[in-house]
Amino acid sequence: MVLKSQQYDDVYFSAQDGFAETRYVFLDGNDLAARFAALGAGDVFTVGETGFGTGLNFLAVWALFAEYAPAGACLRFASLEKFPLAPDVIREALQPWHKDIGAQLDAFLAAYTEAPHEDFVASFNDGRVSLWIGIGDAPDCLSRAKGGVDAWFLDGFKPSSNPDMWTQEVFDHAARLSAPEATLASFTAAGFVRRGLAQAGFDISKRAGFGRKRDMIVGRLRSETEDAPCI
C-alpha cells in the first residue's frame, strides 16, 4: 500500500512505481544525469524542491549524483516540509527501493533520527552532499532559503489537495532563488500552474506524463532579454 498523507488526502508518490516516477519526472525532466557528468571539480549543483515528503526525490538525486558526478563536485539539496514524517515511516515507505537507494537511505536516517520541529541541516559523503529542509509553510521556508538553484522539483501533492503549495508567491520565490538558466520539472500540468510559472519568468512546455498521467511540465528560467511566450 502506498503511503498517503492524512493532512492532504493524497499519496506521496505513484502507486505504480514511486522511484520510477521520480526518475522520469524530476531527474530526467531536469536532465540531471548529463548535467552531473558535465560538472567539474569544485562545482556545486543545487536542487530546490517544494515538498520533502518521504525524501525519495532527495535520495534518488543523491544516488544519481554518486553515479555520474566527478570527484570534487558537490550537491546541495534544499527542500521544505510542513508536516515532517517520522524516520520509521520513511524507512517503511521506501523499503521497496532499498536496492536502488539503500545506502543513501541508511546514511540519511542515521542523521534524521526524529521528525524535526525546526529547519533540518545535514551533510554526507565528507561534505560533498548537503541537505537543508525548511520546516513550515512554503512561502516562509522559501523566504529564508539560499539562492543559486540550478534545478527545481515542483512537488508537494496535487494542486487540488494542497493549493498553498501552488501559488504565485511560491512561483515568484522559485524564480528569485534560481541560478541563470535554471530548469524545473513537475508532475502537474495544470493551466494555472503553467501560467503562474510563465508570469514568474519561466518558459514552460508540456511532455508526456508518467504512467497514467497524460501530461507533465518542464521549464527553463527565461533570460532578461527573452520575451514571455503566450500560454
pLDDT at 73: 98
pTM: 0.93
Statement: residue 169 has pLDDT above 70: yes
Residue 122: pLDDT band (50, 70, 90) is very high
pLDDT at 29: 98
Higher pLDDT, 158 or 132: 132
Query: For 22-49, what is each residue's pLDDT tens digit?
Result: 999 999 999 999 999 999 999 999 999 9
Mean pLDDT for 14-24 is 87
pLDDT at 228: 57
pLDDT at 195: 98
Residue 165: pLDDT band (50, 70, 90) is very high
Mean pLDDT for 58-86 is 97
Average pLDDT of the residues of the chain: 93
pLDDT at 230: 47
Residue 54: closest CA among 97, 90, 91 = 90
Mean pLDDT for 186-211 is 96
| Percent of the chain's residues with pLDDT above 70 | 93
Question: Are the CB atoms for 138 and 80 separated by under 8 Å?
Answer: yes
Matching residue, cell 554526507: 124
Mean pLDDT for 210-228 is 84
Which residues are within 8 A (CB) of 89 and not within 5 positions of it... i.e. 6 or more apart? 3, 54
Contacts 24+ apart (CB under 8 A), 199-203: 199/168, 199/171, 199/228, 200/168, 200/171, 200/172, 200/174, 200/175, 201/175, 201/228, 202/171, 202/174, 202/175, 203/229
Q: Helix (H) and strand (E) counts for the chain? A: 8, 10
Q: What angle do CA 37, 81, 214 make, to 5 degrees?
A: 65
Residue 4: pLDDT band (50, 70, 90) is low
pLDDT at 211: 87
Mean pLDDT for 119-148 is 97
pLDDT at 157: 73
pLDDT at 8: 62
| Percent of the chain's residues with pLDDT above 90 | 83
* Domains in the chain, CATH or no CATH each: 16-221 (3.40.50.150)
Mean pLDDT for 3-28 is 81
pLDDT at 12: 67
pLDDT at 13: 72
